[in-house]
Amino acid sequence: MKKKIRLLVLVNWEEQGRWYFYRRISEQFSSVQLMQPVLYNFIPAARWQQATIWLSEFYLPLRALGVRSSYDVIVSWSMRLGIWYGLLNRLFRTRAAPCHLIYDFHINPTRTDPAYRLRLMLLHAAIPGIDFFLSTSREEAVRYSRMFNIHPERICFFPMIPPPHYCDVMPQPPGNYILAYGNSDRDYDTLVHAAATLPVQTIILSQRYQPRQPLPANITLVTQKTVGDELINLIARARLVVLPLKHSAVAAGQTAMLEVMALGRPLIVTDNPATREYAVHNESALFYTAGRTEQLREHLHVLLNNPAHAETMGRKAREVSRTYPERQVAVFCRVVEKILS
């Protein structure tokens, strides 16, 4: 039986009914409405689409404020949406106002530029207008509770999930290459140094990486954007995948990590608060400390020299990744019931 709870979810993309989480929570609650940007698809320019999405993170909170009396819970599905609605909710708080929940609550402790400092100031001001915080890791939940004076009962780790269609891809015979991919927070220089003398090819997919020196003969950089089935096939056929990240203190890389795990490939990933949530070292992934070239090189040799262990680790990762979709829904339902009780 559906719970008699009305939800409004603010998203910064054009949702067309394919979002797994939305479909699942619609089965749990009596009313789940999405508020999303207005995209003018007849204007094909990519920059225009980016601009409309950016603007939506300011006008959607205003629209939500106008209709909030019709809902029990408002969910902001991005930090910027949550900050702006939190500010409005604080300024125009009423007794009948719905509870406000923010997803993907995290900060980057390595950034000190003026724009980011301003964002942190706005976040501090918005905190009283946010009732519950879904964080990217347990470690960060404890840290942010202290940093922002948030009661520990108002913040928790909320797991991400792999793309559901990745879980449906059948296992494929592995090729003889190492794959690394992604643009944000990547440290490909460390990977290049670690893999330079390996007897297998390493393929790096990135539009942002600019090598500081000529790449070794066994390393190929692909700057053409690779998405969809082409990316899935490259991951699924890799002998192993490496996700080298810049910092061990910054939550990053978990999206790609879950993609690799869902496809059952052996994985080496930088240890950070977020990546630690999804795998166990030497069981479903190998972790290394950011910037530690020798440690990464050792992990590469371990998996290349022990293919049976590598494949067992990949299968374990695939099994674990399949538990996250239902776990995510269960956590969300518990949080909603908790803040309304």
Residue-wise pLDDT tens digits, 304-316: 999 999 999 999 9
Q: Does residue 42 have a pLDDT over 60?
A: no
Residue with tokens 């293919």: 307
Same domain, 113 and 219: no
pLDDT tens-digit series, residues 171-185: 999 999 999 999 999
Same domain, 92 and 232: no
Q: Does residue 186 have a pLDDT over 70?
A: yes
The count of structural domains within the chain is 2
Same domain, 152 and 168: no
pLDDT score, position 46 = 61
Same domain, 144 and 234: no
pLDDT score, position 341 = 86
231 pLDDT band (50/70/90 cuts)? very high
For the entire predicted model, the pTM comes to 0.92
Question: Of the residues 114, 142, 158, which one is the last residue of a structural domain?
Answer: 158
Domain assignment present for residue 144? The answer is yes
Same domain, 153 and 34: yes
Cα–Cα distance, 231 to 233 (Å, whole number): 5
Domain assignment present for residue 183? The answer is yes
Closest CA to 149 of 123, 175, 182, 171: 123
Same domain, 7 and 152: yes
49 pLDDT band (50/70/90 cuts)? low
Domain assignment present for residue 278? The answer is yes
Domain assignment present for residue 331? The answer is no
Question: Of the residues 120, 135, 158, which one is the last residue of a structural domain?
Answer: 158
Same domain, 135 and 191: no
Same domain, 174 and 302: yes
Describe the crossing of helices 46-67 and 79-91 by its angle, rounded to 10 degrees. 30
Describe the crossing of helices 114-126 and 79-91 by its angle, rounded to 10 degrees. 50
Residue with tokens 């220089």: 189
Mean pLDDT, residues 222-229 taken together: 94
Same domain, 126 and 221: no
Domain assignment present for residue 333? The answer is no
Same domain, 257 and 305: yes
The H or E element containing residue 337 is helix 324-340
CATH of the domain at 251: 3.40.50.2000
Cα–Cα distance, 292 to 119 (Å, whole number): 32
Domain coverage including residue 117: 3-158
Spell out the residues 6+ positions from residue 125 whose beta carbon is closer than 8 angstroms to its own.
Answer: 87, 90
